[in-house]
A and B are shown apart, each in its own frame.
Chain A
């Protein structure tokens, strides 16, 4: 393996100098904190200046959710405990509402709880204003104010301590870079390992692929075999459709570029399934309670968790030389139950995304209303880049600089960790939750758009991993179905490892997966216990991926449109492990899907009316018809290699 010189490596490894200051988010944090302090000041002024008990209680309720009830916890009050519990319960509800805001984009609920309980506590005081003074906690406002200011101080100190430790870690990491390249051999895979990797899928891989194909090839409006959880978060069916399609695309790109047939149909179906109202109906709720807008059209405003992900699905599909029907006007149409239809084409979606990126203050777009997830943005940007490569456009170049700058300065911490998500409204970022997957998996898609940063982030991740137990760094919850299993963490990290040529780590993760989630083969289809459909899709990505496979898909235009390919064969009778057209030879490796037998395979894109030779076990001659199609009957008993060449070559 070529070892890059130290200077080059240093350039790659060093973190962006400006990411010590989150400029925009810091401003937003300052604005929010100041607003809160002004609110406290106004509430305190109200309490001091008025004699009205109801206004005093309301104002106290503005300090923090439920604090208004504390007025009624005086020693003489027989309901003292009840009011105290009510205050606690409101605070707990507020925390729940914040989680709900994160999960569904409902920005309305936290405000409703905070101000609603302040108003209700004020109203209660209004109804009972003639009560004895002993019922009230006279100095409640003093204690509540002290509590609020003390909490703010504690939060500030914690924030500073974390920042200091992150900066120290950053410095340590930069010092380590001088010992390069020994310390940071990026790709642990050896030259021999790379050579030993077959360019065809194994029978295991094909059986796993069948799990996805089975689901994709059923009628468009049927969703048998999918995991229906909520439609807001990571277990949503749209993500299962996305990642199934990505996995099939990468398998096609690496092993089966000369196979369309049912593989192309499956990806096409997975895109069409995204048009189903049940998949995107969540948006009308999120749009209402997050953006305060009516309307269910999921495309025009942010919502990149649908728009960007679907755009990536279509871009990868088209990049592999499949149909470009989704690029035609009205190619992608979403119809709701009220008879409204929203039609777009891929170019229109890409244009919309680009326009939004250009005007975004944070450089990145929100998925849930007001929540910005870097991972979702990487996938969306990879869609734009792949589209550019296929269609020779330059949308990505227009937004790249802003995207990169904001990513480095707002979404990567001083110690180099990628922030899981940041609130656009509050400016605050979430702590590092989710374990290894939150650092490793984004690198996979980052490699498609900003490979130099992706490589650095992967090195950082590997460096962090050195001192930790691999299993423990993987989150024990499968994000694909919220059940207790490390399957999604193992497979997502393995898929990323394969993209960076880190085969040793990928193998180790697959062993852990085998131990924790044993596999079953049922009716020649592979599935694992305690593993979500999403994790199965990622497993196929890990199994069928290769070093820089995603990056190549996004950056190298496939020039195989005029090459012969497998046009038609019956599913699941024949499984294709390899289909490549090189040096005027169409090579394929086939397996029987159900039982051995004689199966017909139609080859398309041959030169019309020309003769070809097929080398199976015996030679066969085939003649292309007027359309350039020819059908070949092939006995498939086990692994069967077929090579087709023009007859006049011999």
Chain B
């Protein structure tokens, strides 16, 4: 119905505007008035020990993790490549109907690349804060971390190849056999 579509658009525009307004928040700080320019007083060990288990705090830790991943995905171009490859690997695995035991290798391969990339990104951020200017030591640290990502990527690629190889091989064989039978059928006719 035209009118319903129009009204949905109107409501949508309201919601979009409110969402837009919500997105203008720069700080997700819940209690901004507790922010201090100079946090001079160290946190006592006793207060750390006395911390009680809280479901809210646990849920909040998930939100921090999600925020970290979000930052990584938004800022690191390598992550976009990882994401594309991850989607391709998952799609191929579903297409080739690989076994549960082989899925384990794929999950491991994908995970090690993401973990290495996350640690590398975190290290880069930290290095940029510690030394915003050029520093040979910081450069070496960053390069080594990038090397770790490369190793994990090679490792993951090897695991992927080893896992997929039998399936790809059998698929090719099936395909060839199918071609062979089709050709025979044509010859008969």
Binding site for B on A (CB under 8 A): 69, 86, 89-90, 93, 96, 100, 104, 109, 112-113, 116-117, 120-121, 123-124, 127, 211, 213-215, 217-218, 223-232, 278, 522-523, 525, 527-528, 531, 533, 536, 572, 594
Q: Are B24 and A228 in contact (CB under 8 A)?
A: yes
Q: Are A86 and B24 in contact (CB under 8 A)?
A: no
Give the contacts of B10-47 with A (CB-CB under 8 A).
Answer: 10-11, 13-14, 17, 21, 24-27, 29, 32-41
In the assembled complex, the CB of B53 is this many whole angstroms from the nearest CB of chain A, namely: 25
Q: Are A112 and B10 in contact (CB under 8 A)?
A: yes
Query: Within 8 Å CB of A572, what residues of B?
Result: 37-38
Q: Are B2 and A93 in contact (CB under 8 A)?
A: no
Is B129 engaged at the interface, CB distance under 8 Å to the other chain? no
Roughly how many angstroms separate A109 CA and B10 CA in the complex, as a whole number?
9
CB-CB nearest 4 A-B residue pairs = A225-B35, A214-B37, A120-B3, A228-B25
Given A112-B10, A120-B3, A124-B2: A224 and B35 interface contact (C-beta under 8 Å): yes
Which of B3, B29, B39 has the most CB atoms of chain A within a 10 A radius of its CB?
B3
Given A224-B27, A523-B39, A523-B41: A121 and B14 interface contact (C-beta under 8 Å): no
Roughly how many angstroms separate A542 CA and B70 CA in the complex, as a whole number?
44
Given A127-B2, A224-B27, A228-B27: A594 and B33 interface contact (C-beta under 8 Å): no
Query: Within 8 Å CB of A531, what residues of B?
Result: 33
Closest A residue to B36 by beta carbon equals A523
Roughly how many angstroms separate A533 CA and B33 CA in the complex, as a whole number?
7
Query: Within 8 Å CB of A96, what residues of B?
Result: 14
Q: Are A86 and B3 in contact (CB under 8 A)?
A: yes
Given A215-B37, A226-B27, output 11 extra A-B contacts at Cβ < 8 Å: A100-B14, A213-B37, A214-B35, A214-B36, A217-B37, A224-B29, A232-B21, A523-B39, A525-B36, A533-B32, A572-B37
Roughly how many angstroms separate A120 CA and B5 CA in the complex, as a whole number?
9
Closest B residue to A94 by beta carbon equals B10
Is B59 engaged at the interface, CB distance under 8 Å to the other chain? no
Q: Are B24 and A230 in contact (CB under 8 A)?
A: yes
Q: Are A231 and B41 in contact (CB under 8 A)?
A: no
Is B7 engaged at the interface, CB distance under 8 Å to the other chain? yes
Roughly how many angstroms separate A608 CA and B11 CA in the complex, as a whole number?
70
* A536 contact from B26, B29, B33, B34, Cβ within 8 A: B33
Q: Are B24 and A211 in contact (CB under 8 A)?
A: no
Given A100-B17, A120-B3: A226 and B32 interface contact (C-beta under 8 Å): yes
Q: Are A527 and B3 in contact (CB under 8 A)?
A: no
Q: Are A231 and B26 in contact (CB under 8 A)?
A: no
Roughly how many angstroms separate A247 CA and B35 CA in the complex, as a whole number?
20
In the assembled complex, the CB of A70 is this many whole angstroms from the nearest CB of chain B, namely: 12
Q: Are B26 and A117 in contact (CB under 8 A)?
A: no
Query: Within 8 Å CB of B32, what residues of A?
Result: 224-228, 533
Query: Within 8 Å CB of B3, what residues of A?
Result: 69, 86, 117, 120-121, 123-124
Given A93-B10, A117-B3, A120-B3: A522 and B34 interface contact (C-beta under 8 Å): yes
Given A93-B10, A120-B3: A211 and B33 interface contact (C-beta under 8 Å): yes
* B7 contact from A90, A228, A533, Cβ within 8 A: A90
Given A100-B14, A120-B2, A120-B6: A228 and B26 interface contact (C-beta under 8 Å): yes
Query: Within 8 Å CB of B25, what residues of A?
Result: 228-229
Roughly how many angstroms separate A231 CA and B11 CA in the complex, as a whole number?
21
Roughly how many angstroms separate A486 CA and B29 CA in the complex, as a whole number?
22
Which of B4, B25, B32 has the most CB atoms of chain A within a 10 A radius of its CB?
B32
Roughly how many angstroms separate A182 CA and B3 CA in the complex, as a whole number?
65
Query: Within 8 Å CB of A523, what residues of B?
Result: 36, 38-41
Q: Are B21 and A230 in contact (CB under 8 A)?
A: yes
Is B1 engaged at the interface, CB distance under 8 Å to the other chain? yes
Query: Within 8 Å CB of A127, what residues of B?
Result: 2
Closest A residue to B11 by beta carbon equals A93
Q: Are A123 and B2 in contact (CB under 8 A)?
A: yes
Q: Are A117 and B37 in contact (CB under 8 A)?
A: no
Roughly how many angstroms separate A90 CA and B4 CA in the complex, as a whole number?
11
Roughly how many angstroms separate A226 CA and B33 CA in the complex, as a whole number?
7
Given A224-B35, A225-B35, A523-B40: A231 and B6 interface contact (C-beta under 8 Å): no
27 contacts between A and B (CB under 8 A): A69-B3, A86-B4, A93-B14, A100-B17, A113-B10, A117-B3, A117-B6, A120-B2, A120-B6, A124-B1, A127-B2, A217-B37, A218-B37, A223-B26, A223-B27, A225-B33, A225-B35, A226-B27, A227-B33, A228-B27, A229-B25, A230-B24, A523-B36, A523-B38, A527-B34, A531-B33, A594-B40
In the assembled complex, the CB of A519 is this many whole angstroms from the nearest CB of chain B, namely: 11
Closest B residue to A226 by beta carbon equals B32
Query: Within 8 Å CB of B21, what residues of A?
Result: 230-232
In the assembled complex, the CB of B43 is this many whole angstroms from the nearest CB of chain A, namely: 12
Query: Within 8 Å CB of A100, what residues of B?
Result: 14, 17
Closest A residue to B9 by beta carbon equals A116
Query: Within 8 Å CB of B33, what residues of A?
Result: 211, 225, 227, 527-528, 531, 533, 536
Query: Within 8 Å CB of A536, what residues of B?
Result: 33
Query: Within 8 Å CB of A69, what residues of B?
Result: 3
B46-77 Cβ-contact flags toward A at 8 Å (1 or 0): 00000000000000000000000000000000
Roughly how many angstroms separate A211 CA and B38 CA in the complex, as a whole number?
11
Closest A residue to B37 by beta carbon equals A214
Roughly how many angstroms separate A113 CA and B14 CA in the complex, as a whole number?
11
Closest A residue to B1 by beta carbon equals A124
Query: Within 8 Å CB of A90, what residues of B?
Result: 7
Roughly how many angstroms separate A229 CA and B25 CA in the complex, as a whole number?
6
Q: Are A89 and B7 in contact (CB under 8 A)?
A: yes
Query: Within 8 Å CB of B7, what residues of A?
Result: 86, 89-90, 93, 117, 120
Query: Within 8 Å CB of B37, what residues of A?
Result: 213-215, 217-218, 224-225, 572
Roughly how many angstroms separate A121 CA and B1 CA in the complex, as a whole number?
10
Query: Within 8 Å CB of B38, what residues of A?
Result: 214, 523, 572, 594
Given A93-B10, A224-B35, A226-B32: A231 and B17 interface contact (C-beta under 8 Å): no
Query: Within 8 Å CB of B4, what residues of A?
Result: 86
Which of B7, B26, B36, B39 has the most CB atoms of chain A within a 10 A radius of its CB?
B36
B136-160 Cβ-contact flags toward A at 8 Å (1 or 0): 0000000000000000000000000
Query: Within 8 Å CB of A594, what residues of B?
Result: 38, 40
Roughly how many angstroms separate A525 CA and B26 CA in the complex, as a whole number?
23
